[in-house]
Structure formats: C-alpha cells, structure tokens
C-alpha cells in the first residue's frame, strides 16, 4: 500500500497546464520515448508515445499517451534530509518492491497511460529527475514543468531497474516472435527475432510504389517499429551505376510507424504501417569537396554524374531502449 507521503510527493495536487503547442508536444514525446520514468507510484519503461489532440471546437490541446512496460511498483519513500529552503530542493530515497514487471492497478495491459509531463520523473544515472531539469530553457518557457524534489534510488535498486528492463527485452526476443514484411499483399520477408541475424537485408526490388508497405509481428506487447531514410552518393554513367554505401551518409531521425490491429483472426498480432514515402524523406548529405568525391568514386564515373539520393531505408524493432531487429532495404537505383 503506497504511503500518503509517497502519493503526495509523486502526484502533485494540480496537474500541469495543458500542452497547447504541437511542437512542444513533439519535443516532450522525443525526450520521453524509450525512457525509464516514474508515473504515480510505478517505475515504467515508455515504449512509445502518441500525441492526441483534443477535437475542435474546443481550444486544441495535446495529450501524451504512452504504451508502457511496467518495471517496479514503488514500495516506500524515505526523506534523506529535510528541505533545504535556501536551495529549494528536497531529497528522497525510493525503495522498490521485489518483483520485476509489477505496477499499480492503473497500468492496464494493452491500454495507453496518459503522461502528465509536468509531474513525470526520468531516470538519469542514480536518480529520477523531473523532466523540467532535462528540458531546454526554451521548452521550459513554453510548458509548465516542475523541477523538484529529487528522487534518489536506493543503492541496491539501481542495478535492479536496468536488469528488469533487460529481462523484459529478452522475454520479447524468443523464437516465437515472427516479423513479416509485406509490399501490398505479397509477403517479402519473414524474420524470427532472436534467432535470425539482428541485421537483415531485404530484397530491394520493391517496385516503384512502396505503399502500402507494412510489417506484421506476433506478440507485439511493448514493441515499437521505426523508420529511417539514409542519403548516399550515387553515380551513373549512361546506364551503369554505382552507389557509395561506404562513404558519407545523411540520416533522418527515427520515426515511429503507425500501429494497428491487423485485419485477420489473429488477435495476438499487430500491424505497423509505412504511411508515407521513405524516398520523400531525404536527409541533407554531408559537405564534401570534389577532391574527396574523386578519391572515393570509381575513376570512370565523372563528377557530374554523381548526386546524393536516398539509397537505404532502415526499419528497427525496439522493445524499450533495446533494438531487437533491424531490416535494411537498398532499393534498385538504376538499370
């Protein structure tokens, strides 16, 4: 049973102000995604976050809804020392319960948890810090974020949190975890996570129309699939072509795929959709000189025949902060 003191410390009497800026919501989601946090009286791993706007005609605000993996319920909290009024900071030591994977009753399997950014603590080394301590000064100006008190982990619990997260990641990698990739209705790839190599190169001949491209995965609890486009230098010489995969590259940030239940009888699976064209998401190519390009390209390709283009699309399967599988596609770029 959580103590009144603990409840008072971890849940502020008033929730933070609503998020009214979509860019702020995106930045908060970026900071929180994949992190270990305290929400109410539980230590959770945030596997993914979606941003949900309130519908018009009300003033549009944004809610952060997280898909989480419970790690520990907090058993107790003890003051390390009383509040130092000069510093305005109070320190408390958290003690966790014994069993990995437990959380309070409000964490319902398969249901998203609403995250109040103002009251969320993020694991940083041996302590949980308020999001307000980790946010940029500009972000602090645009949303209400608390900065104290500080929550310390008991010494014997520090390693337990990391070990618990790793246990849950290993549990997600057994051989019954099957990842399939489809282009349209044609299956192009099947990978057994935890059995096949962790980086797999898929057939690059996906045709001119990538969409709909989708992944179906069994036992999807806690799983996130993200996409990244990679810009490389490619050269063409009136037909023959060469891609400089091992030279400089530009990469886009990882973007989560849209998740939904597949239209099949298998209710234990989930489907992840590529909803936009990966080739339209082109990262800037790093600066280079003609001399550098000449040194790295074949001599029979003139400099004028070379230009940056999206040459690799990566998909990674994550469980919490652990990358379980990476799928790499190098599409055909010439004849």
Q: What is the pLDDT of residue 307?
A: 92
Main-chain dihedrals φ then ψ at residue 282, nearest 5 degrees: -105, 120
Whether the CB-CB separation of 41 and 71 falls below 8 Å is answered with no
CA distance 101 to 98: 10
- Below-50 pLDDT ranges, the chain: 1-14, 82-83, 85, 175
Q: What is the pLDDT of residue 258?
A: 83
Q: Is the dihedral of CA 104, 109, 114, 115 positive or negative?
A: positive
Nearest to 234 by CA among 316, 310, 314, 325: 310
Q: What is the pLDDT of residue 96?
A: 82
Nearest to 298 by CA among 249, 247, 230, 231: 247
DSSP 281: -
pTM of the model: 0.54
> DSSP characters for 175-194?
TT-EEEEEETTEEEEEEETT
Helix (H, G, I), strand (E, B) or coil at 170: helix
Q: What is the pLDDT of residue 64?
A: 86
> DSSP characters for 4-52?
HHHHHHHS-SSPPPPB--HHHHHHHHHHHTT-EEEETTEEEEEEEEEEE
Q: What is the pLDDT of residue 208?
A: 53
């Amino acid at each position: 049973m959580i103590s009144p003191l603990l409840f008072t410390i971890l849940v502020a009497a008033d929730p933070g102000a609503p998020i009214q800026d979509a860019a702020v919501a995106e930045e908060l989601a970026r900071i929180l995604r994949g992190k270990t946090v305290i929400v109410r009286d539980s230590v959770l791993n945030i596997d993914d976050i979606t941003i949900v706007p309130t519908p018009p005609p009300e003033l549009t605000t944004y809610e952060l809804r997280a898909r989480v993996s419970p790690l520990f319920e907090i058993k107790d909290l003890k003051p390390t020392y009383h509040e130092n009024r000069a510093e305005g900071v109070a320190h408390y030591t958290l003690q966790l319960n014994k069993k990995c994977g437990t959380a309070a009753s409000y964490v319902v399997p398969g249901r998203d948890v609403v995250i109040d950014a103002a009251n969320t603590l993020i694991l940083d080394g041996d302590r949980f810090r308020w999001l307000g301590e980790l946010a940029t000064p500009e972000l602090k100006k645009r949303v209400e974020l608390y900065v104290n008190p500080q929550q310390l982990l008991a010494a014997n619990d520090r390693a337990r949190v990391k070990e618990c997260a790793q246990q849950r990641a290993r549990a997600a990698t057994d051989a019954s975890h099957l990842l399939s990739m489809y282009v349209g209705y044609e299956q192009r790839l099947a990978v057994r996570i935890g059995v096949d190599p962790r980086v797999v190169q898929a057939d690059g001949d996906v045709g001119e129309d990538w969409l709909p491209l989708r992944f179906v995965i069994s036992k999807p609890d806690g799983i996130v699939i993200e996409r990244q486009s990679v810009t490389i230098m490619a050269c063409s010489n009136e037909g023959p072509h060469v891609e400089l995969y091992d030279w400089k590259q530009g990469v886009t940030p990882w973007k989560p795929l849209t998740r939904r239940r597949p239209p099949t009888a298998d209710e234990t699976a989930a489907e992840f959709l590529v909803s936009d064209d990966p080739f339209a998401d082109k990262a800037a190519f790093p600066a280079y000189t003609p001399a550098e390009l000449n040194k790295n390209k074949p001599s029979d390709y003139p400099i004028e025949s070379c230009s940056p283009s999206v040459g690799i699309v990566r998909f990674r399967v994550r469980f919490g902060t652990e990358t379980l599988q990476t799928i790499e596609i190098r599409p055909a770029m010439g004849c």
